[in-house]
Amino acid sequence: MTDVEIKLPKILEKNKSEVEKRIGELVSFEAKRRSLLEFIDETMKGAAQLDDEELVRFGKKIKKGRFDNLKKQRLL
């Protein structure tokens, strides 16, 4: 993981710990979002060849297995 240095304006210096916490939450959220997008992109590569019924069935499978995948990656 890479470190990032952020300069806080004086108005936020008193709340430094809260700002650090919220930035950490933002980074965690972004990591989860990108992981989900990569998973969906990989999963849906052949979607153009599927009909609506197959897409619905496929979507249910993705939804069911995604929680376990994120849990294994310790993102949940």
- Asked whether residue 15 is domain-assigned, the answer is no
- Asked whether residue 13 is domain-assigned, the answer is no
The pair of structure tokens assigned to 14 is: 């008193």
- Asked whether residue 29 is domain-assigned, the answer is no
- Asked whether residue 22 is domain-assigned, the answer is no
Q: What is the pLDDT of residues 42-55, one digit of tens each?
A: 877 766 777 888 87
What was the pLDDT predicted at 47?
66
- Asked whether residue 40 is domain-assigned, the answer is no
- Asked whether residue 38 is domain-assigned, the answer is no
Percent of the chain beyond pLDDT 90?
39
**In the chain, how many domains are there?**
1
- Asked whether residue 54 is domain-assigned, the answer is yes
Which residues in the chain show pLDDT less than 70? Answer: 46-47, 76
User: What integer best gives the mean pLDDT of the chain?
Assistant: 85
Q: Which residues contact 76 (CB under 8 A, 6 or more apart)?
A: 32, 67, 70
Query: Which domain covers residue 69, as residue numbers?
Result: 47-76
Residue 75 CA to residue 50 CA, distance in Å, equals: 30
Does this model's pTM top 0.85? My answer is no
